[in-house]
Amino acid sequence: MAQQKLRKQETLAMRKRLIGQSCRLFYSDDPVKIVRARGQYLFDENNQRYLDCISNVHHVGHCHPKITEAAAAQMDLLNTNSRFLHDNIVLYADRLAASLPEKLCVFYFVNSGSEANDLALRLAQQFTQHQDVIVVDHAYHGHLMSLIDISPYKFRKLAGQKEWVHVAPLPDTYRGIYRETHPNPGQAYADTVKDLIEDVHKKGRKICAFFAESLPSVGGQIILPQGYSAKVAEYVHSAGGVYVADEVQTGFGRVGSHFWAFQLQGEDFCPDIVTLGKPMGNGHPLACVATTKEIADAFTANGVEYFNTFGGNPVSCAIGLAVLDVIKEEDLRGNAMTVGAHLKDLLTKLQTRHQMIGDVRGVGLFVGLELVKDREQRTPATECAALVVKRLKEEDRIFVSTDGPWESVLKFKPPLCFSMEDAELVAQCIDRILTAAATENINLPNNTCINCKREQK
């Protein structure tokens, strides 16, 4: 039976009626109905093409033929749960192990980044027999209750901070407490974690884990200062805890120079637990926890079987293997490094032309453009960022979104097949939008950035 086709307004009406309204759409004032995709492009019901700078999940490109072929072939042959012996799960684990430091050699497969982070928390608490967790401010680790509890981005809007959760400053060298002029911001920010551990101990509590994204994304596309992670790991280990690196957004070569973002912190740093997710299945639900034998053995010793119905099933692992193949065969790490550097350079040049561009930061195809009302005060330009996102969509058919505590950072995490021409188009369009906005002669409220004048019409 052919699938029923709905007009856009029918789809929207049914969604409002049937889907929870907390599940928000991109561009909710005027949603785009996407019906197909290929590579770095999305197409609406009128066959209009949009450049996708948002979908970091579709890591090697939307609907990559090698991924869909691998999925269909395995689906046609067998799909069952991982309690039956099968080659795919062990072959995939072996490939992942080859990309990670030697001590990260035991794997648990799940279906989402949230599941992975929840399991990482269980592993850490079982191994250390402690409960307390340190996280960085503005962090987001997932939507499960256990993860909302360790995600300041979420819990500050809900029930608040639990007694066993402790929040360290976000290591942001642009607008944080230690900035780019500090001689050693990595050490300075790590010392805030050391101070926090001492405060926890004074309360008679013990540290289970330090939990951090290797590159904080919701926090505003933050690049951790050098030396930070290794020093934090030293302090956390001394306190009897473990270091959990959340690579759900940043793994699998997005940073270009390395396969994993935590490797940017140097060869002397290795987390005790790493969580993987979004890009693993190129849109298929696939995630994983990698850890040490010692931590895995402690989890086994509790006597309770860990079982995940769909985690590591033959189809998921076939897709995961195909993603690894495409990354290597198409040198997508090299592309991320080359195109990402070009995009960052183009945006940095725009900074000399537009006063509202306060900072350009990033590595590989993980790039942030922070907009400010005043460069000296670094006042977030939230309205301006929203304006740029809106006009890129409406005038140029480019999808970009914002992040950061004030939604003032334009974030770029496109599929890794993003091209040099795509980067140039994005920069040209942003330049045009900011130039046009700056030349409008409209009186503004005192708290509105000059480049947002267009919104006052």
Whether the Cβ atoms of residue 373 and residue 356 lie closer than 8 Å to each other: yes
pLDDT in tens, 301-330: 999 999 899 999 999 999 999 999 999 999
**pLDDT over 50 (residue 446):** no
Find out whether 298 and 270 touch, Cβ atoms under 8 Å: no
Pick the range with the lowest mean pLDDT from 200-209, 294-303, 307-316, 443-452: 443-452
- What is the token pair recorded at 357? 């561009």
Q: What is the average per-residue pLDDT within 64-81?
A: 97
**Where are the CATH 3.90.1150.10 domain residues in the chain?**
8-60+331-439
* pTM passes above 0.75: yes
When pLDDT is cut at 50, 70 and 90, the band that residue 283 belongs to is very high
CA dihedral 85, 86, 90, 93 (to 10 degrees): -110
For residue 298, the model assigns a pLDDT of: 97
Phi and psi, residue 97, nearest 5°? -60, -35
Give the pLDDT band (50/70/90) at residue 444: very low
Q: What is the pLDDT of residue 456?
A: 35
pLDDT tens per residue, range 17-37: 999 999 999 999 999 999 999
Q: What average pLDDT does the structure give for the chain?
A: 94
What tens digit of pLDDT does each residue of 87-100 get? 999 999 999 999 99
Q: What is the per-residue pLDDT across 383-414, written as a single tens digit (0 to 9) for each?
A: 999 999 999 999 999 999 999 999 999 999 99
Task: Identify the H or E element spanning 344.
Answer: helix 332-351
- Asked whether residue 341 carries a pLDDT value surpassing 90, the answer given is yes
Share of the chain above pLDDT 70, in %: 96
Select from 3.90.1150.10, 3.40.50.150, 3.40.50.720, 3.30.9.10 the CATH code of 8-60+331-439: 3.90.1150.10
Does the pLDDT of residue 145 top 60, yes or no?
yes
Which of the listed CATH numbers 2.60.40.1180, 3.40.30.10, 3.40.920.10, 3.40.640.10 matches domain 65-329? 3.40.640.10
d(CA 177, CA 197): 19
Query: Which candidate, 101, 438, 149, places its Cα nearest to that of 291?
Result: 101
- pLDDT computed for residue 4 by the predictor: 80
Averaged pLDDT, 219-245: 98
Confidence of residue 159 (pLDDT cuts 50, 70, 90): confident
Residue 382 has pLDDT above 80, yes or no: yes
Res. 452 pLDDT band, cuts 50 70 90: low
Phi, psi of 112 (to 5 degrees): -155, 160
Task: Provide the phi-psi class of 165: left if phi over 0, else alpha when psi is between -120 and 50, else beta.
Answer: beta
Q: How many residues does the chain have?
A: 457
Q: Give the integer Cα–Cα distance in Å for 258 and 264.
A: 7
Stretch(es) of the chain classified as CATH 3.40.640.10 = 65-329
